[in-house]
Structure 1
Amino acid sequence: MEATPNTVTVNGAEIRKLRIQAGLSTTELARAARLSARYLNHLENGYRTRMRPHSYSRLRQALGLPADSTQLLSPTEDPP
């Protein structure tokens, strides 16, 4: 049995692009994903690049992406 990774590396520019396409503010998306707006802002701006899998899953769901989507991951990251 393979262990779940502790964190995943995300692509902040992609998060921002999808948020804007969805017509959401940083605060709205953060609330929907149960994240702080500051944390989401740090992800989008590249100050932070890693997320725990459960937070990543909530963000992916808030953006309406399917469970098997790897769109938010950094190009070098394997799916959680």
Structure 2
Amino acid sequence: MARTPATYQVYGPSLRQERMRQGLSIKEVAAAAHISRSYLQRLETGTRERMGAPSYIRLRTALKSTDRTLLAPPEDPPETR
């Protein structure tokens, strides 16, 4: 059984694009996710990248979105020689 990560690394540009695609304001999404408007704004601009699991799940639910849309793409593993 998969464990829920302690934090999630969101990808700000995708988060903002998804919010705007739905025609929602920062204030509307923040209120629906029970986070502050400034916190959401910092996530969208990349000033902040990580969210605790409960906040992330509320945000994902508020946007009716998926991890694939909101999370940062996985980093490529370092090349071995």
**TM-superposed deviation, 1:5:** 2.2
**1:63 matched to which residue of 2?**
63
Tell me, which stretches of 5 or more residues in structure 1 are unaligned?
A: none
Tell me, which stretches of 5 or more residues in structure 2 are unaligned?
A: 76-81
Identity of aligned residues (%): 47
**TM-superposed deviation, 1:33:** 0.7
- Separation (CA, whole Å) in 2 of partners of 1:24 and 1:73: 19
- Structure 1 segments, 4+ long, off by >2 Å, are 1-5
* Superposition CA RMSD, Å: 1.7
* Bigger Rg, structure 1 or 2: 2
How many matched pairs? 75
**1:35 matched to which residue of 2?**
35
TM-score normalised to structure 1 length: 0.84
Structure 2 counterpart SS, 1:43 = helix
1:1-80 aligned at under 5 Å gives the runs: 3-65=3-65, 69-76=67-74
Structure 2 counterpart SS, 1:57 = helix
